[in-house]
Amino acid sequence: MDNITLQLNDRNRGAFFYEENDQQIGEMEIGINGHDMAVYHTEVKPEAEGKGIAKKLLETMVNYARQHQLKVIPLCPYVHAQFQRHPDLYNDVWKK
């Protein structure tokens, strides 16, 4: 079974972690400052690429941002590319 969890340290830096069968196979590194969430990096283990895991991490992060009224600063190339390709899906959370 797959599972995505968010872990933040006391400075509001951390990551969304994607686990499948008790193995971490993906993560999206973030930092929250006030009402802004910077997304720094998305990584999926090579053996799990092409399964839509980065997309699931993206959707989870965007839902979290919406629930907490955060604006996303997409420093991660993957997230930035997705925001540019689908502005209709992400304009409400995208801090340009």
Give the domain ranges of the chain.
2-90
Strand runs labelled E in 36-86: 36-44, 71-74
Domain boundaries 2-90, corresponding CATH code: 3.40.630.30
Residue 59 has pLDDT above 80, yes or no: yes
pTM above 0.85, yes or no: yes
> What does the alpha-carbon distance between residue 11 and residue 19 come to, in Å, rounded to a whole number?
24
Average predicted confidence (pLDDT) for the chain: 95
Is residue 9 predicted with pLDDT exceeding 80? yes
